[in-house]
Structures are given as structure tokens and as C-alpha cells.
């Protein structure tokens, strides 16, 4: 793997009280870092700690308090690159984010300090799962390089909760005055989200087609399924669905209800693709995300791979290896064969019951 300009590797991480991991400080190779251990040893937990300090969230759970080791009262993760330092602290009562020694109060001011993309066997559910899975994928693709988009998402979800509650109350008392206020707010913020999606969707399509072609997937593509005409919320659209919303008690149109319909060679992926093609497509989506992040920021995102090649045949494993760019963290039960092909060497992290032993391979 060639070194390239725009790489900002993670140099060091220090963690306390994180899941089953025994407190430690680790230093990483700029290129490949292999994390090897049996199932349940803590491989994914280490990837999760890296992801958590980079994006202030888990890729596995919504309830962050479950990340705190059972016998501890808090967790703390410190991370360091060439020129930046970050700390994330969490206990049962609060969460604190810090960059360069200063506390950060808004999530959108923290996310983006360290670009990264996680590839997991669970990514297949972006294709197989509910529309919410695909919206989450799309939102991360854009939010990682756009603090404004993330801020609008956070604001939109707040408005949505308030509007849904108001819909339920209006159904009981018939008072529509407050609902009209939330309509106005929903339209304003929702259309800002739509504008960002309109800008990013063409590039995402292009990157998905390119990475899909690398895996032999002909014309990997998607159609954006929008609940609003011309990707715009307006009063007329909301009025048309008002009665249904009153019955259901929640908002049924807007960017929170849209979907992505993936296809291969013009046919719906979910109905016509084999399991192998689905897995290759899921990897293609995540590599396309990483490429978009690089194009937007000029820095290669860190790639975290969690058993992602376990279901691939040898040919596709070799293709995957050829597509990995930047700093890579590769978690697996055993050291993959291609590790020996790394001319510049790598760091090997052997993990057992949360204890990590590090060795440098040249």
C-alpha cells in the first residue's frame, strides 16, 4: 500500500473503563494494524474505542452507558494524531468532549476531527434491512464532512419529536395553532437537509458505481426514493397528509422517511443479487463513503475493518486488499495471508480477554 499525501494517521490511543478492554496505551502503525484474537476476546471493542473517540458514538449500540466496563463508573478515551489531540469522557450523568485541551459543547464541532469509516459484516443490513439503515448510511456519508448538515440533522430530529407530540395532542383537542409553527420549522430545516443531499447524491452514485465495478458488480447504483415532490418540503405537501398524520400521530413525509433503492445492472439488489454480491455491494458502499470523505476533506479516512472479509472468497479478498488506502485497522480471528505481503511491515495486536500484546513486524 502506497503512502500518499493527505494522510492523518492515528498515532496513539489511551483508554480507561472501556468495555472488557484492560486499561492501556497503544501506538499504531501509519499503514496496517492487525488486531487478532478469538471471538469475544475484545477485537471489536478496540475498533469501537477508536470509532468512539473519532465520532463520539458507537457503531454497535445506541445506549452509550453500556460502553462503560461493568465494574467501573466511567470511561475515558484519549487519541492523538500528528497535530491533534482529543478526549472523550463518559459517566452515568454526563459526557464530555475535548479537542486540543478545550471542551467542545456541540457534536457537530467534534465530528470530523478524525475521519474514519467502519466496514463490518453487519453492513449487509444497509441493503437487506429497513429504510432507517439506509438513511443512517446516507446521513453519515454527508455528516462526516459537513458540520452544517449534522447540525441540521440534530435540529430536525428535535423539531420532529416536538411536531409528533403536537400531532398527538391536536388529535385530542383539535388545536392546530402550535402545529403550524412546527410545520414552518420542519419545512425550513428539512429543506436544508434536502439541499445537502442533492449536492452529495451524484458523487455518491459515481463512487458506488466505481467501487462496485472493482468487485465485478455491473452498474451498482441506487435511486433516491423521496416522500416529497422535487425533494422539497412545503405547506401543500403537509396539508395533503394532515389527516393521515393525525391518525398515525407522527410525521409521514420528509427526509426522515426517504429511502435508497439499490440496484445491480438495473435490477433491485435485494431481489436479484446473490449473497456474495450483496456482501460485495455492502463493502462497495463503505469504500465509496471513504472515497467521498477523502474528496471532501483532502485527508484519507482511517479504515476500520471488523471481520469484513470472513464471508469473501479469495479473489474478492485480494480485490479488497488492493482497494484499502490510508491507515487500516483490520480485526480478524487469525492473521490474514495478505499481511505477509506488506512490504513496510505492520503492527500486530494480539488480544485475549481484553489484554493486548503488541509486536512490530518488519
Name the one residue in this structure whose C-alpha cell is 431481489.
271
Residues sharing a CB contact under 8 Å with residue 244, sequence separation 6 or more, in sequence order: 252
Contact of 251 with 160, CB cutoff 8 Å: yes
Instruction: Give whole-number Cα distances, 229 to 19, 141, 352, in Å.
Output: 46, 23, 54
Note the pLDDT tens digit of each residue in 112-138: 899 999 999 999 999 999 999 999 999
* Nearest one of 154, 150, 125 to 200, comparing CA atoms: 150
282 and 326 share a domain?
no
Q: What is the predicted pLDDT for the residue at 345?
A: 82
**Residue environment code for 192-227, b if the CB has 16+ CB neighbours within 10 A, otherwise e:** bbbebbeebbeebbebbbebbebbebeebbbeeebb
Q: 346 - beta bridge partners?
A: 361
149 and 278 share a domain?
yes
Note the pLDDT tens digit of each residue in 243-270: 999 999 999 999 999 999 999 999 999 9
292 and 303 share a domain?
no
Which one of 298, 321, 352 terminates a domain? 298
Which one of 298, 327, 348 terminates a domain? 298
213 and 106 share a domain?
no
Task: Give the mean pLDDT of the chain.
Answer: 93
**CATH classification at residue 187:** 1.20.1050.90
Query: Within a domain: residue 120?
Result: no
Task: Read off the pLDDT band of 1 (50, 70, 90).
Answer: very low
145 and 291 share a domain?
yes
**CATH classification at residue 105:** 3.40.50.300
- State the total domains in the chain: 2
Contact of 225 with 232, CB cutoff 8 Å: no
Helix, coil or strand: residue 81: coil
192 and 265 share a domain?
yes
Note the pLDDT tens digit of each residue in 11-54: 999 999 999 999 999 999 999 999 999 999 999 999 999 999 99
Decide if pLDDT at 304 tops 70: yes
Decide if pLDDT at 173 tops 90: no
Cα 21 versus chain centre, distance: 22
Show the domain range for 219. 125-298
96 and 129 share a domain?
no
Contact of 197 with 255, CB cutoff 8 Å: yes
Amino acid at each position: 500500500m502506497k503512502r500518499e499525501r493527505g494522510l492523518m494517521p492515528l498515532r496513539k490511543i489511551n483508554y480507561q473503563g472501556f468495555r472488557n478492554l484492560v486499561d492501556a496505551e497503544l501506538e499504531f502503525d501509519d499503514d496496517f494494524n492487525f488486531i487478532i484474537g478469538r471471538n469475544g476476546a475484545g477485537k471489536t471493542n478496540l475498533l469501537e474505542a477508536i470509532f468512539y473517540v473519532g465520532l463520539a458514538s458507537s457503531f454497535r449500540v445506541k445506549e452509550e452507558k453500556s460502553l462503560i466496563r461493568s465494574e467501573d463508573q466511567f470511561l475515558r478515551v484519549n487519541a492523538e494524531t500528528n497535530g491533534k489531540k482529543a478526549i472523550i469522557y463518559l459517566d452515568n450523568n454526563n459526557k464530555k468532549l475535548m479537542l486540543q485541551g478545550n471542551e467542545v459543547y456541540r457534536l457537530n464541532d467534534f465530528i470530523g476531527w478524525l475521519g474514519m469509516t467502519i466496514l463490518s459484516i453487519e453492513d449487509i443490513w444497509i441493503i437487506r434491512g429497513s429504510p432507517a439503515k439506509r438513511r443512517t448510511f446516507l446521513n453519515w456519508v454527508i455528516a462526516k464532512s459537513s458540520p452544517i448538515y449534522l447540525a441540521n440533522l440534530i435540529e430536525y430530529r428535535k423539531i420532529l419529536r416536538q411536531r409528533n407530540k403536537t400531532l398527538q395532542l391536536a388529535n385530542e383537542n383539535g388545536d392546530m395553532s402550535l402545529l403550524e409553527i412546527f410545520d414552518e420549522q420542519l419545512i425550513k430545516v428539512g429543506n436544508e437537509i434536502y439541499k445537502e443531499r442533492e449536492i452529495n447524491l451524484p458523487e455518491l452514485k459515481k463512487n458506488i458505481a466505481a467501487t462496485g465495478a472493482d468487485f465485478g458488480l455491473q452498474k451498482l447504483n441506487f435511486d433516491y426514493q423521496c416522500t416529497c415532490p422535487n425533494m422539497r418540503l412545503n405547506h401543500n405537501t403537509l396539508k395533503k397528509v394532515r389527516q393521515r398524520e393525525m391518525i398515525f400521530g407522527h410525521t409521514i413525509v420528509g427526509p426522515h422517511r426517504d429511502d435508497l433503492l439499490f440496484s445491480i445492472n438495473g435490477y433491485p439488489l435485494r431481489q436479484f443479487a446473490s449473497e456474495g454480491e450483496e456482501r460485495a455491494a455492502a463493502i462497495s458502499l463503505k469504500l465509496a463513503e471513504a472515497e467521498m470523505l477523502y474528496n471532501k476533506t483532502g485527508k484519507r479516512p482511517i479504515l476500520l475493518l471488523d471481520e469484513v472479509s470472513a464471508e469473501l472468497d479469495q479473489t474478492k479478498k485480494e480485490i479488497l486488499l488492493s482497494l484499502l488506502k490510508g491507515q487500516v485497522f483490520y480485526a480478524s480471528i487469525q492473521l490474514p495471508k495478505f499481511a505477509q505481503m506488506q512490504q513496510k511491515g505492520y503492527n500486530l495486536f494480539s488480544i485475549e480477554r481484553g489484554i493486548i500484546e503488541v509486536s512490530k513486524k518488519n
